[in-house]
Amino acid sequence: MKFRLALLLILIVSIAPAPRSWAAGDRNALVIGNAKYPDAEAPLKEPINDAKDIAAELKRDGFDVETGENMTGDAMRRALERLYARVKPGSVALIFFSGFGVQSARQSYLIPVDAQIWTEPDVRRDGFSLETILGEINSRGAGVKIALIDASRRNPFERRFRSFSAGLAPVIAPNGTLVMYSAALSSVVSDTGGAHSLFVSELLKEIRAPDLMAEETLNRTRVGVTRASRSEQVPWISSSLAEDFSFIPGARPPASTQIAVANPPPRPDPVATPRNDPPPPAVVNIPPPPPPVKVEVPPAVVTAPPVKGEGSTTVANLADDPTIKSLTSKLIDNPDDASALYRRGQVYASKGAYLLAVNDFTESIRLNPKDVEAYNNRCWARTVIGDLQSALKDCNEALRLRPNFVDALDSRGLVNLKSGQTKNAIADFDAALKINPRLTSSLYGRGLAKQRNGSISEGELDISNAKAMDPNIVKEFAGYGVR
C-alpha cells in the first residue's frame, strides 16, 4: 500500500504543469532610451544608460533585443514594426521605454525626440499609444506581453496646453500582459542626476534574483523603489498574466505550486487510537508567507493653507496627491523655489483648485517678475474663476514680455470671450491661429465668438473643425464656464 501511494505521488508530481520554457527566438524585446529632446532645457541624464543596461540584462536572459537611442518618430515606428514582425504565436514580447511620456484622453503616449507638441491633439499625432502597441503585439499572438515604462517625468510639453494631466494613465491591456510604470498614475518624478534612474537600479537588482516569477520580480522592484524614495515614488503595476513567466530562463515557481495533491494522512492504528477519536488532520506542506514589508513613510507634509472660496474638501483631497505632496515638501525646505511654486500651481489648476493655483503663480511671479509662463497661467486661472479684469492685466503683461506669445493670445481670447468682447476675442484667436493653425482651443473659441458676433455659418465651421481635431474640446470649454 505504501508503495502504491509513493508511486501515485511520483506520477502526480511528474504530470504537474511546469512553467513554460521559451526557446531562442521566442523572447523578443525592443528597448528605447530617449534623452535628447530639443524642447527640453537639457538632455535627460538617465535614459541612455538605463536602456543599455536593460538591453544587456535581457540579452543575458535569452531575449532577442533591439536597442534604440534618441529615436525620432519614424525610427520608433520602424522599430515597432520590426518587433511586431518577430512575434510568434505563444512567444514573449517586451518593450522598455525611458524618456518622456504624456497622457491624453486617458491613454499613455511614448514621445519620440522630434515630436512637435503644442496642443493635446499633437500628443496623439506624434506620440505612440502604449495601448496600441500592446494591442498590436497581442494581435500577432504573443502569449506574454510586458511593458516597462520609465516615463513619469515632468515633460516640456505639458505647459503648452491647459487640460494636461501629469504623469501616465492606466492602460487597458489584453490578457497575458504585465505592465509597470516607474511611478504612480498621474504623478511625476525628477531625474536623480545619476547614471541610472532609481526605478531601473532597483529593477536590475531584482531581475537577477534566481527563481522569481516576473510578477514577483516587479513587486520586489516596487517595494525597493518605495523604500529608497521614502514613499515619494511608488511604481504602478498591472498584471493579467495567465501563465508563469520568469525573466531568467529555467526558473521554477515555488514547489508548493507544483504538487497538486498533498500526501494523505496515515490511517489510524485501531489499537493505539480510541475508536471514537477523529483521525489526525492532514499535514499540507505550505511554505510560510513572506514577512510583511515595512515601508518607511515620511512625516506628513504641510499642504497649502485653505483659500477663501476654495472648499476645505478640495484642499483635503489634494493633500494626498503625490505630486503636490512632493512639491510642498520641496517648498518647506525652500520657500523661494519658484519652479516648484509654478509646477504646483499647474497641478492645482489641472485639478480645478484655481484659487490655490493663482496663489502659487502669484508667488512665482513675486520671485521672478519676468516669468511670462506664470503670468499666462495666472491669466487663464483667473479667467476660469471669473476675475476677468485681473486676468486681462496678466495676459497683457505676458504679451508685453513676449510679443506674439501664442498661449497668451489664446488665453486673452478666452478672457475677451467671457467678457462679451467678441471682436477682440476673434482678433486674439486669429493671431494665435496664424502662429499655430492647429491650436484647437483658439479654433473653437473663435467659432463661439463668431457665432455670438452674428457670423453663424463661419462659427459653425470653426467649431466643427475644432471638434474633429479634439472631441473633448466642448467639455474643456464647459469647464471654463463657456458654452
Same domain membership, residue 401 and residue 328:
no
Range of the domain at 214: 27-239
Asked if residue 279 belongs to a domain, the reply is no
Domain count within the chain: 3
Q: 102 has which bridge partners?
A: 109
**Structure confidence at residue 407 (pLDDT):** 85
Asked if residue 296 belongs to a domain, the reply is no
Closest CA to 189 of 145, 224, 225, 142: 225
Q: Compute the distance between CA of residue 65 and CA of residue 226 in angstroms, rounded to an integer.
A: 29
The number of helix segments (H) and strand segments (E) in the chain equals 18, 9
Closest CA to 472 of 4, 172, 107, 222: 107
Q: Compute the distance between CA of residue 450 and CA of residue 120 in angstroms, rounded to an integer.
A: 24
Contact 109, 88 (CB under 8 A): no
Asked if residue 288 belongs to a domain, the reply is no
Same domain membership, residue 432 and residue 323:
no
Contact 418, 482 (CB under 8 A): yes
280, amino acid identity: P
Q: Compute the distance between CA of residue 424 and CA of residue 445 in angstroms, rounded to an integer.
A: 12
Residue 466: which CATH number? Answer: 1.25.40.10
| 3-state secondary structure (DSSP) of residue 289 | coil
State the cell numbers at 322: 503625490
Asked if residue 19 belongs to a domain, the reply is no
Choose one of 210, 239, 268: the last residue of a domain.
Answer: 239
Q: What does the radius of gyration of the chain's CA atoms come to, in whole angstroms?
A: 28
71, amino acid identity: M
Considering only the C-alpha atoms of the chain, give the largest distance between any 2 of them, rounded to a whole number of Å.
Answer: 105
Residue 318: which CATH number? Answer: 1.25.40
Q: What is the 3-state secondary structure (H, E, C) of 56-77?
A: HHHHHCCCEEEEEECCCHHHHH
**Structure confidence at residue 264 (pLDDT):** 40
Same domain membership, residue 147 and residue 49:
yes
Contact 111, 100 (CB under 8 A): yes
Same domain membership, residue 390 and residue 345:
no
Asked if residue 471 belongs to a domain, the reply is yes
**Structure confidence at residue 344 (pLDDT):** 86
Asked if residue 324 belongs to a domain, the reply is yes
In sequence order, the 6+-apart residues with CB closer than 8 A to the CB of 333 are none
Which backbone phi and psi does 388 adopt, to 5 degrees?
-75, -35
412, amino acid identity: R
Q: 144 has which bridge partners?
A: 92
Same domain membership, residue 359 and residue 435:
no
| 294 dihedral zone (left: phi>0; alpha: psi -120 to 50; beta) | beta
Q: Compute the distance between CA of residue 132 and CA of residue 28 in angstroms, rounded to an integer.
A: 18
Same domain membership, residue 117 and residue 48:
yes
C-alpha torsion angle, residues 239, 242, 243, 249 (rounded to 10): -40
Residue 173: which CATH number? Answer: 3.40.50.1460
Choose one of 198, 224, 239: the last residue of a domain.
Answer: 239
Same domain membership, residue 364 and residue 394:
no
- Tracing cell 520609465 back to the chain, one arrives at 150
- The angle at the Cα of 107, spanning 304 to 46, to the nearest 5 degrees, equals 70
What would the DSSP string read from start to end of 394-454? HHHHHHHHSTT-HHHHHHHHHHHHHHT-HHHHHHHHHHHHHH-TT-HHHHHHHHHHHHHTT
Give residue-wise pLDDT tens across range 128-185: 999 999 999 999 999 999 999 999 887 877 656 654 567 888 888 889 999 999 998 8
In sequence order, the 6+-apart residues with CB closer than 8 A to the CB of 186 are 103, 165, 166, 167, 168, 169, 323
Same domain membership, residue 205 and residue 89:
yes
Contact 124, 47 (CB under 8 A): no
Q: b/e for 410-424, b at 16 or more Cβ within 10 A?
A: bbbbbbbbbeebbeb
Closest CA to 424 of 392, 459, 378, 466: 392
Which backbone phi and psi does 90 adopt, to 5 degrees?
80, 0
Same domain membership, residue 206 and residue 63:
yes
In sequence order, the 6+-apart residues with CB closer than 8 A to the CB of 369 are none
Query: Helix 354-367 to helix 338-350 angle, to the nearest 10 degrees?
Result: 160
Contact 111, 152 (CB under 8 A): no
Cα within 13 Å of Cα(178), Cβ side: 22
Same domain membership, residue 410 and residue 360:
no
Choose one of 239, 261, 286: the last residue of a domain.
Answer: 239
Q: Compute the distance between CA of residue 198 and CA of residue 194 in angstroms, rounded to an integer.
A: 9
In sequence order, the 6+-apart residues with CB closer than 8 A to the CB of 200 are 46, 50, 53, 54, 98, 150
Q: 239 has which bridge partners?
A: 178
302, amino acid identity: V
Per-residue pLDDT of the chain (483 residues; tens, 9 = 90+): 444 444 444 444 444 444 454 544 599 999 999 999 987 778 899 999 999 999 999 999 999 999 999 999 999 999 999 999 999 999 999 999 999 999 887 889 999 999 888 777 888 899 999 999 999 999 999 999 999 999 988 787 765 665 456 788 888 888 999 999 999 887 888 766 677 899 999 999 999 888 899 999 999 999 999 999 888 899 999 999 888 899 988 666 554 444 333 344 444 444 444 444 444 444 444 444 444 443 333 333 333 334 434 544 456 667 777 778 878 888 999 999 888 888 788 778 877 889 999 999 999 999 999 988 899 989 989 999 999 999 999 999 999 999 988 889 999 999 999 999 999 999 999 999 998 787 788 999 999 999 999 999 999 999 998 887 777 788 888 888 888
pTM higher than 0.75, yes or no? no
Same domain membership, residue 45 and residue 166:
yes
Same domain membership, residue 323 and residue 415:
no
Asked if residue 245 belongs to a domain, the reply is no
Asked if residue 364 belongs to a domain, the reply is yes
For the chain, the residue count is 483
